[in-house]
Amino acid sequence: MATELTMPALSPTMEKGTLAKWLVKEGDAIKAGDLIAEIETDKATMEYEAAADGRIARLVIAEGTDDVAVGAVIALLASGDEAAPELAMTDVVPTEAPAVARAEIPPTPAPVAQPVAPAPEPMRKRPSPADRIKVSPLAARIADAKGIDLEAIAGSGPNGRIVRADLGVASLLAIPAGPVATAVIAAPEIAPPPAGVPVESVKLGSMRRMIARRLTESKTSVPHFYLTARCNLDPLLALRGQLNAALEGSGVKLSVNDLLIKALAFALQEVPDANVQFGGEMLHRFGRVDVSMAVAIDGGLVTPVLRDVGAKSLSAIATESKALAAKARDGKLVPDDSEGGTVSLSNLGMFGIDEIMPVINPPQALILGTAAGIEQPWKVDGGIKLATIMAATASFDHRAVDGATGAEFLRSFKTLVENPLRIAA
């Protein structure tokens, strides 16, 4: 019997992906672990490995197809000389792919069911225990994990197929779907470019579309509030110079960003009520600090995660952060590199930016944005001198963090930056 190969969920936020390229063709024999396709997700382009031996009987989705839903059948894997089975359209999870991609599926008449009175209502067939329950692979996995009885659910997919939306997953995951849905419905239509102005229109990649969707969701469903502290960077810069001199020849060189990551982790350890996540009826308070580090790449932004930063030395942070940034720019991040994170850091100091007010990276409740160090008059040791001053702005989810807690966190961060010996221990 042929095995269905489906679009995998390669990241926690992935709902759709682009089947960028097939690395096999129909008739090819493959082994478990062979690379068979390249899939572009909201994070990066990743390679899809075969999970079993067999022969590619049919490529259901053409390469280059956008918006292929997670769980959609993309290919059929046969064993030995087994012929490719006929694939009814009810067995394919619908996508938003162009018609040319769907034309790759040879038209095959579906089995004709015997008429039953009364005739089933189109698109809302309620499966009975005697019938085969039509359900997408993703919906089946979710139902199994959540203990959902599929026999009691009316599917909204083609011919009554049960899809993820029918399972009420949003409420099960405690995601406040109501405000998001309202904001999306109320959003204005996308306006065309003004007439008569020269313009080049480029189709958005799946990463940019995902960034647009997630950040729109963040700004319309998460009540942001912002606090800014201006920090004297000179003590931290002096310590960095001393540490790098001591590390000379070791292959490790500390950046300002490495020290800011450590200061962020220490501040959250001192103010654990800011290291939290809103969970509907629950508030999740984390026992360690995992920092999502914003890295700009071609076509978008990714946030690989440095885990348990409070327990790492500065040299370990420097080594790991540089390795993750290199993987991100080379498009080699794997899902484990970006999953989780309790807080985000977006540092634009290298671009000479005076101040940044970052958008929260959901479902986190805090992102810290740091700007460039700018030399200006400042009160130092009781007198007015030139000092290197950095604006640090924190964006908080007001459902999870109150103003006083946010202020306490930012005060702790400022104190650590201006007295950095504590983070060097």
* CATH code for the domain of 373: 3.30.559.10
Residues 316 and 393 reside in one and the same domain: yes
CA–CA distance, 97 with 102 (Å, rounded to integer):
7
Q: Apex CA 211: angle with CA 193 and CA 72, to 5°? A: 105
Any idea which residues carry the catalytic annotation? 398
Query: Does 76 map to a domain?
Result: yes
Say if residue 81's pLDDT is above 90.
no
Residue 84 is predicted with a pLDDT of: 54
Query: Does 151 map to a domain?
Result: yes
CA–CA distance, 400 with 279 (Å, rounded to integer):
9
Residues 229 and 357 reside in one and the same domain: yes
Say if residue 386's pLDDT is above 80.
yes
Residue 235 is predicted with a pLDDT of: 96
Look at 110-119, 184-193, 203-212, 256-265 and tell me which has the smallest mean pLDDT: 110-119
Q: How confident is the model at residue 41 (pLDDT cuts 50, 70, 90)?
A: confident
Look at 115-119, 152-156, 341-345, 406-410 and tell me which has the smallest mean pLDDT: 115-119
Residues 163 and 282 reside in one and the same domain: no
Query: What residues make up the domain containing 362?
Result: 223-424
Each residue's pLDDT tens digit, 316-368: 999 999 999 999 888 888 888 988 899 999 999 999 999 999 999 999 999 99
Query: Does 91 map to a domain?
Result: yes
Residues 418 and 337 reside in one and the same domain: yes
Query: Does 70 map to a domain?
Result: yes
For residue 42, the one-letter residue type is D
Query: Does 206 map to a domain?
Result: no
Residue 13 is predicted with a pLDDT of: 65
Residues 257 and 404 reside in one and the same domain: yes
Query: Does 410 map to a domain?
Result: yes
Q: How confident is the model at residue 169 (pLDDT cuts 50, 70, 90)?
A: low
Say if residue 403's pLDDT is above 90.
yes
Residue 424 is predicted with a pLDDT of: 84
Q: Would you say 366 and 344 are in contact if contact means Cβ atoms under 8 Å apart? A: yes
Cα–Cα distances in Å, from 211 out to 42, 277, 299, 370, 397?
7, 20, 10, 21, 19
Residues 227 and 165 reside in one and the same domain: no
pTM of this structure? 0.62
Q: Would you say 329 and 301 are in contact if contact means Cβ atoms under 8 Å apart? A: no
Say if residue 116's pLDDT is above 60.
no
Query: Does 369 map to a domain?
Result: yes
Residue 179 is predicted with a pLDDT of: 43
Total domain count, the chain: 2
Say if residue 175's pLDDT is above 80.
no
| Mean pLDDT of the 386-405 span | 97
Residues 248 and 150 reside in one and the same domain: no
Highest mean pLDDT range out of 17-31, 79-93, 272-286?
272-286
Residues 239 and 160 reside in one and the same domain: no
CA–CA distance, 212 with 194 (Å, rounded to integer):
22
Residue 128 is predicted with a pLDDT of: 40
Closest C-alpha among 101, 128, 104, 102 to residue 116:
128
Token readout for 410 is 């930012």
Say if residue 185's pLDDT is above 90.
no
Say if residue 183's pLDDT is above 80.
no
Look at 1-15, 287-301, 361-375 and tell me which has the smallest mean pLDDT: 1-15
Look at 90-99, 107-116, 272-281, 305-314 and tell me which has the smallest mean pLDDT: 90-99
Residue 181 is predicted with a pLDDT of: 40
H or E element that contains 283? strand 282-285
Residues 161 and 288 reside in one and the same domain: no
Residues 303 and 394 reside in one and the same domain: yes
Q: How confident is the model at residue 142 (pLDDT cuts 50, 70, 90)?
A: confident
Q: How confident is the model at residue 46 (pLDDT cuts 50, 70, 90)?
A: confident
Query: Does 203 map to a domain?
Result: no
Residues 253 and 383 reside in one and the same domain: yes
Residues 145 and 233 reside in one and the same domain: no
Q: How confident is the model at residue 87 (pLDDT cuts 50, 70, 90)?
A: low
Query: In percent, how much of the chain has pLDDT > 70?
Result: 79
Look at 13-22, 295-304, 350-359, 374-383 and tell me which has the smallest mean pLDDT: 13-22
Q: Would you say 343 and 367 are in contact if contact means Cβ atoms under 8 Å apart? A: yes
Look at 54-63, 101-110, 251-260, 376-385 and tell me which has the smallest mean pLDDT: 101-110
Q: Apex CA 356: angle with CA 353 and CA 358, to 5°? A: 145
Say if residue 159's pLDDT is above 80.
no
Q: Would you say 16 and 69 are in contact if contact means Cβ atoms under 8 Å apart? A: yes
Look at 101-115, 279-293, 346-360, 382-396 and tell me which has the smallest mean pLDDT: 101-115
